Amino acid sequence: MKFLLLPGDGIGPEIMQATETVLSAVGRRYGVDIAADRKDVGEKALSHAAAAIEGAIDALLSSPETRTPDLGGPLGTRAFGEALAARVGAN
């Protein structure tokens, strides 16, 4: 059995740690293989996403081939947006 733990902000990390401990004990007691996966949500996730977007923009703007015409490049707004989405999605 697999669970997804989303710690969030505030007391979330402590609650999720206790939840994982309880799930593990229940699994041992009843002979059930319990696994937990964690994903960031809240401020931590937003900070990570912002850093990925900023890094992608910096990378695209560092090359004349991936700039928009107002910055001396050939890409239109849609093409730049698609390139940005692809680069962020690759992270």
Contact in structure between 38 and 7 (CB atoms under 8 Å)? yes
pLDDT in tens, 20-38: 999 999 999 999 999 989 8
| Residue spans per domain, the chain | 1-39, 42-91
Distance CA 33, CA 6 (A): 20
Distance CA 25, CA 74 (A): 59
- Quick check: 10 pLDDT over 90? no
Output DSSP code: residue 64. Answer: G
Band (12; pLDDT cuts 50, 70, 90) = confident
Contact in structure between 35 and 13 (CB atoms under 8 Å)? no
